[in-house]
Chains A and B, each alone.
Chain A
Amino acid sequence: MSNRLSGPERKETILSAAQGLFASKGFHGVSVDEIARAVNVSPAILYRHFASKQTLYNAALEKFSNQRQSYVDTIVKHGTSFEDALAGMTQVYINNIAENPDILRIELHSLLEGNIATLAFFQNRWKSFTDYIEFGLNEHLPYDVPDREKTILSAGLMFQGMVREVLIQKCLQPQDRLVDLSLHELSNELVTLFLRSIGISKPQLSRKATISS
């Protein structure tokens, strides 16, 4: 039956299957033959759509992580205050992963595998946050704060760690003790905690900027 698929449909099917396999086994754990078998095509047909395993891998990542448009929407709709924009961006990011937890699995695999292209891809995604936080704090923090530079760099890292961990806990290995808190509630709380830790306390921000998509 898969023989009846059009070119674009076939390409799409291959991409989806590849994403699932890469997510469960990592880049090195999957062969082109295995992906081809999963969608009932010959490796030759697969290569007609994707020149190499790396090409297919990159395409699978790009396809499932299209969040730029949502970032632009968030910035247009929400306030431009540091906290509103951060809350809005966080919401976009966690929605993206909640819809496709495989992206997070692929990220974790890539950390272990050390695939340079992929690591750059994920670092770039986090860079949206770390850039944003570094920039915002540069404007917000008084100049006489001790170790200002270190604080700013560490804050970006703190935020990245928090968001990645909440996604792991809620999307990959649901924990009983967190069962009463939804992913959105948790991320709202964490954003608020983060803001408080850097001296910005606006408890009402999260309601407005991060509830519902």
Chain B
Amino acid sequence: MSDFDSELDASGLNCPLPILRAKKAISALDAGQTLKIIATDPGSVKDFEAFCKQTGNELKSSGEEDGKFVFMIQKAA
């Protein structure tokens, strides 16, 4: 499950920077590839849910590791 193609560390950044950086990173991926995002802003959980709903990309997982939030987003076909 820890398979991903690219990683983005958005630790310490406030909304909407993590989303913006994720959008950029995803645009550089091919369809089906997965981006791992690390964030520290608690609000980012909801933000990434909304982001995936709107963009059609799939939020494969959303969880907490060592006090940080980790998201896996797979680029839509």
Q: Check if A and B associate.
A: yes
A71 and B23 form a contact (CB under 8 A): no
Closest beta carbon of chain A to B11's beta carbon, Å: 12
Contacting residues of chain B (8-24) with chain A, CB-CB under 8 angstroms: 13-17, 19-20, 23-24
Contact segment of B31-39, B42-50, B61-69: B42-50
B54 and A135 form a contact (CB under 8 A): no
A51 to B3, CA, bound (A): 46
A74 and B16 form a contact (CB under 8 A): yes
B55 and A80 form a contact (CB under 8 A): no
Contacting residues of chain A (60-101) with chain B, CB-CB under 8 angstroms: 68-69, 71-76, 80, 85, 89
A127 on the interface (CB 8 Å rule)? yes
Tell me how many residue pairs across A and B have CB atoms closer than 8 Å. Answer: 52
Contacting residues of chain A (15-71) with chain B, CB-CB under 8 angstroms: 68-69, 71
B17 and A72 form a contact (CB under 8 A): no
Closest beta carbon of chain A to B69's beta carbon, Å: 14
B55 and A128 form a contact (CB under 8 A): no
B19 and A72 form a contact (CB under 8 A): yes
A154 on the interface (CB 8 Å rule)? no
Residues in A whose Cβ lies below 8 Å from that of B19 = 71-72, 75-76
A75 to B17, CA, bound (A): 9
A122 on the interface (CB 8 Å rule)? no
A68 and B15 form a contact (CB under 8 A): yes
A127 to B19, CA, bound (A): 15
A132 on the interface (CB 8 Å rule)? yes
Residues in A whose Cβ lies below 8 Å from that of B15 = 68, 71-72, 128
Residues in B whose Cβ lies below 8 Å from that of A73 = 50, 54
Contacting residues of chain A (107-138) with chain B, CB-CB under 8 angstroms: 124, 127-128, 131-132, 135
A132 and B51 form a contact (CB under 8 A): no
Residues in B whose Cβ lies below 8 Å from that of A71 = 15-16, 19, 47
Closest B residue to A88 by CB, please name it: B16
